[in-house]
């Protein structure tokens, strides 16, 4: 009898191990950029914030049926709110995921608006501060369990991303919105922390997050979206 129990426990443990090893990896994140490489984005439009945020809020209220509908609507709205300055860059191939479907959806909103601690003359962003209020509200209204991380330290932002990675695993969909100052340096897109030191790329590993690293926090089983509202110019180009 004891032998049967032992073998039963071993069988359950083995099955659990095999299940964990064979669990499918989350789909690759789909990156949506508010603007083109080498271009700035606007901090404030007539709505009071980034045109990309205005577009997102507007489109979510319209309740798009599919991801393709969401993308085409977002692209048109982003261009309109920016007066044509911001042209959405998005994946050429999109899955046939129903944006209006069921299942648990989670969102992480990462925004830096206060750059008063930066020593390289970077200005703070009142538009991003406004977006920190309206973007989470719009996502919650659209059915996303939403976490806001505003003006966090590098350690706090890293902790929030780790927690979101754990929370998003196994959900239907995960969305990460990134706002604040950003750059694209040597083809890598970065989100800049509020205390970025003097204008030098050597601080990127400690005072910025690459968008690729941020995207790793989205681990939903059906679709993972990363919405990047920030600039893609390179202030270090002449260095």
pLDDT of residue 24: 81
Per-residue pLDDT, averaged over 165-186, amounts to 97
- For residue 215, pLDDT over 60 is answered with yes
- 198 vs 222: which has the higher pLDDT: 222
The H or E element that residue 209 is part of is: strand 208-210
What is the set of domains in the chain, with CATH numbers? 27-228 (3.40.50.1460)
3-state per-residue secondary structure call for 172-194: CEEEEEEECCEEEECCEEEEECC
- For residue 17, pLDDT over 70 is answered with no
Q: Give dist(CA 126, CA 25) in Å, integer.
A: 38
* Structure token digits, residue 123: 């200005």
* Phi, psi of 188, rounded to the nearest 5 degrees: -105, 130
Per-residue pLDDT, averaged over 54-67, amounts to 97
Q: What's the predicted TM-score (pTM) here?
A: 0.90
- For residue 239, pLDDT over 70 is answered with no
- For residue 141, pLDDT over 60 is answered with yes
**Chain-wide mean pLDDT for the chain?**
91
Helix, strand, coil abundance in the chain, percent, nearest 5: 40, 20, 45
User: Helices 51-62 and 126-141 sit at what angle, rounded to 10 degrees?
Assistant: 10
The answer for residues whose C-beta is within 8 angstroms of residue 4's C-beta and 6 or more apart is none
Q: How many CA atoms lie within 13 Å of 214's alpha carbon, on the beta-carbon side?
A: 30
Tens of pLDDT, residue by residue over 77-104, are: 999 999 999 999 999 999 999 988 889 9
The H or E element that residue 210 is part of is: strand 208-210
Per-residue pLDDT, averaged over 181-206, amounts to 94
5 pLDDT band, cuts 50/70/90, is: very low
Other C-beta atoms within 10 Å of 11: how many?
A: 10
Pairing label, strands 208-210, 30-33: unpaired
Question: Within the chain, how many helices (H) and strands (E) appear?
Answer: 7, 8
pLDDT of residue 208: 96
Residues of the chain with pLDDT > 90, as a percent, come to 82
211 pLDDT band, cuts 50/70/90, is: very high
- For residue 6, pLDDT over 50 is answered with no
171 pLDDT band, cuts 50/70/90, is: very high
Tens of pLDDT, residue by residue over 24-35, are: 899 999 999 999
Positive or negative: CA dihedral 186, 88, 81, 55: negative
- For residue 9, pLDDT over 80 is answered with no
């Amino acid at each position: 009898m004891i032998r049967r129990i032992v073998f039963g426990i071993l069988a359950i443990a083995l099955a659990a191990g095999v299940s964990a090893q064979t669990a499918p990896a989350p789909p690759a994140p789909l990156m949506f950029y508010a603007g083109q490489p080498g271009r700035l984005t606007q901090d404030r439009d007539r709505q009071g914030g980034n045109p990309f945020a205005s577009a997102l809020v507007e489109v979510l209220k319209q309740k798009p049926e599919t991801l393709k509908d969401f993308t085409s609507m977002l692209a048109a709205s982003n261009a309109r709110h920016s007066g044509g300055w911001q042209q959405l860059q998005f994946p050429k191939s999109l899955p046939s995921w129903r944006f209006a479907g069921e299942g648990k959806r989670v969102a992480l909103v990462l925004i830096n608006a206060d750059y008063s601690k930066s020593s390289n003359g970077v200005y703070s962003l009142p538009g991003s501060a406004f977006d920190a209020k309206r973007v989470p509200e719009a996502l919650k209204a659209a059915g996303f369990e939403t976490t806001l991380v505003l003006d966090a330290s590098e350690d706090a932002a890293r902790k929030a991303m780790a927690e979101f990675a754990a929370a998003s695993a196994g959900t239907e969909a995960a969305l990460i919105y990134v706002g604040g100052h950003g750059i694209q340096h040597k083809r890598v897109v970065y989100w800049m922390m509020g205390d970025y030191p003097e204008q030098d790329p050597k601080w990127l590993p400690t005072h910025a997050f690459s968008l690729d690293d941020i995207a790793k926090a989205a681990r939903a089983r059906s679709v993972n979206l990363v919405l990047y509202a920030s600039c893609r110019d390179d202030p270090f180009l002449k260095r």
